[in-house]
């Protein structure tokens, strides 16, 4: 046997053994290891790879979410307004506190004769804002109305959607759902698929909770000079007996936000409740230390999504830790800690669509899909054996090898198998046979003027280009489907792409090795 055949056989055996090894956990029905879990028994010798089932096969929850972009833009403009007020004050350009009017900022420049200097400030440091000619008021004052430029508005919208997408993914990952599917659609909506989950209320609570944490000082008549507002007070069960107020007046200025949270864990509180202990990163510790040191003996309100959960007195300088108490059950505290660790959403999200798929329906889909694949595959294999004889038998083994390679690829790369994905496997079987047919017909033509072994070499060499060309165009289409499609369509694209790559490998490379080895023994005939 020549050296060239030896290395080809080695590659085939290596790919076969590697594929079988990757698929062993599924073949032996070994459970998937959870995060942090150590393998036991047989699992210690197997890879932690599985073919993951999609929502339509495993059952679960499908959510379509919409981000409240209007609220996000208003929050962004409010922050820009505070920066503008502070910057104008440093320049000696007195303006009234900017007020929101829809998606615009309105304020008055109170110093006459400063229009040119003020507008130069806007152009230099607030170029994201567009403004028109101001309206002249009494005493030479000017009323300005500012809004985000179209370019800045689009950039901010894209950034907000990406941040919301990332936050939702982080929350789901910490929640422990196996193989969730979270993606942004072209219309700005976010689609979330949670295979294997059946508690839709809890899922919506975790995904849709804004979790915007703020620390605000409670109003002290002796020291508070800026604007204030009243917020509802939640408190704990013990506060009810003490006659705690239903609302607390706090300073409108936010002293510290939850953006600097490094960790959040659940702990026990009084009256059988639970609390969430939070710790800050380095920057957050510095800010929290300054805040508490400068406001000793004052009440600091801990505000979550616009509600005051507690307002303890600052007894000493604190730097690292704080806690959120309230009427939390263990599950509520656990979920709150989860969303705080994952970060707050940049804007509220609304559930636009909710669908549940039961596991029984998923099992029925699996049964029907597998049945279709088996029946289709059996018919194709029978035709190949009848029409091509021994060569058809080789082609049938290549089909089985194709399916093994597809499933191994999905398990190795963590892809999700959906019902359209099963359809993609069935289609791949047909395309794999098409590649074999091209090779076999080419070999038949070459056998009319040369020996069988020479015909095999010529047939594979001349059919390869046609096979590669046709399959590459299909792969390009599959890549486009994956890039722009939703979950089921992406599942189809994944199995189709893996199937095409596997079929080219088996039809062009593996089949050639088998035919060459078979025909090298003198006296053997080629049945084709």
The whole-number pLDDT of residue 272 equals 64
The whole-number average pLDDT for the span 140-155 is 89
d(CA 247, CA 465) in angstroms, rounded, equals: 76
> Bridge-partner residues for 148, per DSSP?
129
Residue written as token pair 């056989």:
9
The whole-number pLDDT of residue 15 equals 93
**Model pLDDT for residues 287-312, shown as the tens digit of each residue:** 888 888 888 888 888 888 888 888 88
Does residue 154 have a pLDDT over 60?
yes
Does residue 475 have a pLDDT over 80?
yes
**Model pLDDT for residues 40-63, shown as the tens digit of each residue:** 666 667 787 777 777 777 778 888
The whole-number pLDDT of residue 319 equals 73
**Helix residue spans in 39-139 (DSSP H):** 55-58, 69-90, 115-125
**Percentage of residues of the chain with pLDDT beyond 90:** 5
Q: Torsion-angle region of residue 305: left (phi > 0), alpha (psi -120 to 50) or beta? A: left
The whole-number pLDDT of residue 502 equals 92
**Helix residue spans in 414-510 (DSSP H):** 419-446, 452-484, 487-504
Q: Which of 69-83, 141-155, 305-319, 411-425 has the largest mean confidence?
A: 141-155
Instruction: Return the percent helix, strand and coil in the chain, to nearest 5.
Output: 55, 20, 25
The residue among 420 and 408 whose pLDDT is bigger is 408
The whole-number pLDDT of residue 32 equals 64
The whole-number average pLDDT for the span 171-197 is 77
The whole-number pLDDT of residue 338 equals 76
The whole-number pLDDT of residue 1 equals 47
In sequence order, what are the residues at sequence separation of 6 or more whose Cβ sits closer than 8 angstroms to the Cβ of residue 150?
Answer: none
Does residue 442 have a pLDDT over 80?
yes
- Please state which of the ranges 202-206, 243-247, 387-391 shows the lowest mean pLDDT: 243-247
The whole-number pLDDT of residue 244 equals 57
Q: How would residue 405 be classed by pLDDT, with cut points 50, 70 and 90? A: very high
Domains and CATH numbers, the chain: 3-18+359-519 (1.20.1640.10), 70-153 (3.30.1360), 212-330 (3.30.1360.200)
DSSP states along 123-161: HHH-TTEEE-PPEE-GGG-EEEEEEE-HHHHHHHHHHHH
The whole-number pLDDT of residue 39 equals 67
The whole-number average pLDDT for the span 141-149 is 90
The whole-number average pLDDT for the span 242-268 is 77
d(CA 277, CA 320) in angstroms, rounded, equals: 11
**Percentage of residues of the chain with pLDDT beyond 70:** 89
Contact 290, 298 (CB under 8 A): no
The whole-number average pLDDT for the span 128-135 is 86
The whole-number pLDDT of residue 359 equals 61
**Exposure on the CB side of residue 127, measured as CA atoms within 13 A:** 4
**Model pLDDT for residues 361-395, shown as the tens digit of each residue:** 566 767 777 787 788 888 888 988 888 888 888 88
Does residue 336 have a pLDDT over 80?
no
Q: How would residue 37 be classed by pLDDT, with cut points 50, 70 and 90? A: low
In sequence order, what are the residues at sequence separation of 6 or more whose Cβ sits closer than 8 angstroms to the Cβ of residue 309?
Answer: 234, 235, 302, 303, 324, 325, 326
CA distances, 28 to each of 32, 54, 412 (Å) = 12, 20, 16
Does residue 178 have a pLDDT over 70?
no
The whole-number pLDDT of residue 346 equals 79
Tokens of 154: 């689009």
């Amino acid at each position: 046997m020549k050296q060239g055949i030896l290395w080809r056989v080695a590659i085939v055996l290596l790919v076969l053994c590697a594929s079988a090894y990757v698929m062993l956990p599924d073949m032996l029905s070994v459970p998937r290891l959870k995060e942090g879990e150590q393998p036991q028994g047989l699992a210690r010798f197997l890879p932690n790879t599985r073919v993951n089932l999609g929502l339509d096969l495993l059952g679960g929850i499908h959510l379509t979410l919409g981000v409240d972009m209007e609220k996000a833009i208003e929050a962004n403009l409010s922050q820009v307004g505070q920066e503008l007020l502070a910057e104008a004050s440093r320049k000696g350009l007195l303006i009234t506190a900017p007020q929101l009017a829809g998606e615009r900022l309105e304020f008055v420049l109170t110093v006459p004769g400063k229009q040119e200097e003020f507008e130069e400030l806007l152009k230099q440091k607030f170029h994201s804002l567009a403004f028109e000619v101001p309206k002249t008021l009494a005493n030479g004052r000017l009323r300005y109305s500012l809004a985000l430029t179209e370019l800045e508005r689009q950039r901010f919208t894209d950034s907000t959607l990406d941040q919301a997408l990332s936050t939702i993914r982080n929350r789901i990952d910490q929640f422990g759902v196996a193989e969730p599917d979270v993606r942004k659609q072209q219309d700005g909506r976010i689609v979330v698929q949670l295979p294997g989950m059946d508690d839709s209320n809890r899922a919506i609570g975790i995904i849709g909770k804004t979790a915007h944490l703020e620390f605000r000082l409670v109003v002290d008549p002796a020291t508070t000079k800026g604007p204030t507002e009243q917020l509802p007070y939640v408190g704990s069960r013990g506060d009810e007996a003490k006659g705690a107020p239903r609302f607390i007046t706090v300073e409108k200025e936010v002293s510290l936000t939850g953006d600097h949270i490094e960790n959040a864990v659940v702990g026990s509180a009084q009256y059988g409740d639970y609390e969430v202990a939070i710790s800050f990163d380095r920057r957050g510790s510095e800010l929290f230390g300054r805040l508490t040191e400068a406001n000793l003996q004052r009440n600091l309100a801990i505000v979550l999504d616009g509600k005051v959960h507690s307002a303890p007195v600052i007894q000493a300088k604190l730097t690292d830790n704080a806690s959120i108490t309230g009427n939390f059950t263990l599950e509520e505290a656990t979920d709150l800690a989860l969303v705080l660790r994952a970060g707050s959403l940049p804007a509220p999200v609304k559930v636009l669509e909710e669908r549940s798929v039961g596991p029984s329906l998923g099992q029925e889909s699996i049964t029907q899909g597998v049945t279709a694949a088996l029946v289709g595959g059996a018919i194709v294999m029978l035709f190949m054996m009848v029409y091509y004889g021994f060569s058809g038998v080789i082609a049938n083994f290549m089909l089985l090898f194709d399916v093994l390679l597809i499933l191994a690829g999905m398990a190795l790369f963590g892809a999700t198998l959906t019902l359209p994905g099963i359809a993609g496997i069935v289609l791949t079987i047909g395309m794999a046979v098409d590649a074999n047919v091209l090779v076999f017909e080419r070999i038949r033509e070459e056998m009319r003027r040369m020996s069988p072994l020479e015909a095999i070499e010529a047939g594979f060499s001349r059919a390869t280009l046609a096979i590669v060309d046709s399959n590459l165009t299909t792969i390009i289409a599959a890549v486009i489907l994956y890039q722009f499609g939703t979950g089921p369509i992406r599942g189809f694209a994944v199995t189709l792409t893996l199937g095409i790559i596997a079929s080219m490998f088996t039809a062009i490379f593996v089949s050639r090795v088998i035919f060459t080895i078979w025909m090298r023994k003198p006296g053997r005939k080629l049945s084709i």
